Chains A and B, each alone.
Chain A
Amino acid sequence: NAGVTQTPKFQVLKTGQSMTLQCAQDMNHEYMSWYRQDPGMGLRLIHYSVGAGITDQGEVPNGYNVSRSTTEDFPLRLLSAAPSQTSVYFCASSLGTGSTEAFFGQGTRLTVV
């Protein structure tokens, strides 16, 4: 089991560029989510999915899109990058958000200049 795999690990974008952060899990988990982590603010939920074809917004969804065409993959798209999106992004998966542990990827450090 690879767990949760995120690519790329590092990325630098220019303002206005678009890109997709990839996330894949091999644990057959229903629930997947994307967080951003900024100093002193903790992890904040961007979008989540409770299964293939079902997505919903989290706390800070503006500027990000997601889709879930398969159980395994949950990509995060930045349509027009802004400096405020400079952050570390984590993808996580779990059987559910309730009492089950979440497995996190290694993170993507994104810098928008």
Chain B
Amino acid sequence: EDQVTQSPEALRLQEGESSSLNCSYTVSGLRGLFWYRQDPGKGPEFLFTLYSAGEEKEKERLKATLTKKESFLHITAPKPEDSATYLCAVQAGKTSYDKVIFGPGTSLSVIP
């Protein structure tokens, strides 16, 4: 069964304290792995898409990496405005309309 898990469930960081969030997946035929950010009371906001093992993408203090079984979202010198829930999702299958499976998310709090 296709599955996506994320760890930790929650993470508290001091401002400037770098860390990583993990997304592990078991799917057949990965077509893409997505990272989203979700603020309280809002819908998810797209961050990155990764397609193949070894790929990396960066945006400001965030860097996403992908291996054959997991993805990491590295947060360098985080600021309080980085506080949010980070969602990982994978798409697998043969057609461009195969469903996307979301993980439960990691809630990140950055303390000033």
Q: State the A residues within 8 Å of B (CB).
A: 4, 31, 35, 40-45, 48, 50, 58-59, 90, 92, 96-107
Q: How many residues of B contact A (CB 8 A)?
A: 25
Q: Which of B44, B51, B87, B99 contacts A97 (CB 8 A)?
A: B99
Q: Which of A31, A50, A104 contacts B43 (CB 8 A)?
A: A104
Q: State the B residues within 8 Å of A (CB).
A: 4, 9, 31-32, 34, 41-46, 49, 51, 87, 89, 91, 96-100, 102-105
Residues of B within 8 A of A99 (CB): 31-32, 49, 51
Expressed in whole angstroms, the Cα–Cα distance for A90 and B102 within the complex equals 13
Q: Which of A4, A31, A42 contacts B103 (CB 8 A)?
A: A42
Pairwise interchain contact A96-B44, C-beta atoms closer than 8 A: no
Pairwise interchain contact B43-A97, C-beta atoms closer than 8 A: no
Q: Which of B42, B45, B87, B96 contacts A98 (CB 8 A)?
A: B96
Expressed in whole angstroms, the Cα–Cα distance for A43 and B103 within the complex equals 7
B9 (CB) vs chain A CBs: closest residue: A40
Pairwise interchain contact A98-B91, C-beta atoms closer than 8 A: yes
Pairwise interchain contact B45-A97, C-beta atoms closer than 8 A: no
Among A97, A105, A106, find the residue whose CB has the most chain B CB atoms closer than 10 A. Answer: A97
A103 (CB) vs chain B CBs: closest residue: B46
Residues of A within 8 A of B97 (CB): 31, 48, 50, 96-98
How far is the CB of A22 from the nearest CB of chain B, in Å?
A: 15
